[in-house]
Chains A and B, each alone.
Chain A
């Protein structure tokens, strides 16, 4: 590099540095927004990191966790963390990651306990996120660790014991190293693979008809109430009322509904709209779907009641 070029280069660097300094001083340049108060931040600052940063004070035992898990988690995740239906598996599968059908559970795949605490706290139970207390989150986390044979039944999880539990798969993750393949832009006489076609029949063709024909028919002025009720049930209520999550009375289960109905139709409707907490279970107001109108909730309840007949 010539000396004049060097000088130009140096002054360019200096210019960039001073631009950087200016940028650093730009905080508040536009003067928008309000300074976040410590109280505001405390309400939303829920994240937890693998180093334990963000874990609040509190504690929870495996035994307490078992009660909570059975009441609020097992419907979807299974009593042993095996996962019901399409819901995520939480336990088991250790050593299966190289198998033809690997199981990615907390014990077999997840790298950090903090992820479990953080996720239960931010997103679970599915129908009522952020409803557990910190102690309850510690307890359910401890119980999921127990389901994975990672702690004993007398274990209690808190800020200190958190550091004692290392998940088996920690250290088995590495940063993205793609591109990992190098195809070439061959234009003639290129290599091809072997053709693999469906041996049995054409592949999976999900229905396209329902939605496409529906729009061609004149739209009815108002959806009949029971149809609307069924639609709301299918989309929203079924999450709990199909399986009985959280003590929800199941669709078509007359026994389940009988003692609710003793209080009368109006009381059932009021509980559905305003919410209910009692020995029989928990019903969030409108099932947690606050955008539903009272009429929509009523139609859904009436649909469920009709299914009892």
Chain B
């Protein structure tokens, strides 16, 4: 036992790194080979996101803000895929914007992955439009409250927003019944709530998908200012399972494409990493108490 404690006390952190690599790589390989994913039970916050989109009638405009960059793509890209998937299937008019400089590229990738691949009938500029990035953070939000076209005068392709059919009837941001933000930090979901939702007097509903770090800070706004919340990859997996079950092809033998299972696939590595973390905390505490007891014995 004392030998085990000595090993624990002097454990090189490279062993911990190796253990983490194995606990993450193992499930990735297993899921990659077998194609099996862990079952998910959607929580009320994920159901609320699904219901908020489902409640809109086809043709309704929705504002989708990509407030993240590739660094958070691991958590947020699967959410973006599922959100756009549900919006496209529902026939909503999707207006994409970005308040982060690398957002427009992520919008393009999502459009390519979901809309161009699976909804080729949807027309750019009519059924969806990418307005690109605008600098200014909260100030852009404030301008959108009074004049949407001033905040985003042209699309990413350089077309004046006045000529875009998808923006018909949109003068102010509160003309959108629903705002979806995929948020990784500042500016993001919190700023949207503070500057747009609070000022709109309840005209706009908002749902968000955010990183795990942001999630605890957004719970206080749910369910009044924030109508739905997808927290980290767990929230993404829950929502993904909801969307997949509702949009599942009638022919049950047809497999769901891997791109629509990304969040659920990532729950495997998350399980491995969480179990390792718990094991490490327990081992660290065993070493700590053993050390403390030996010190007490030595002094007495």
Q: Do A and B come from one complex?
A: no
Query: Which A residues are closer than 8 A to B by beta carbons?
Result: none
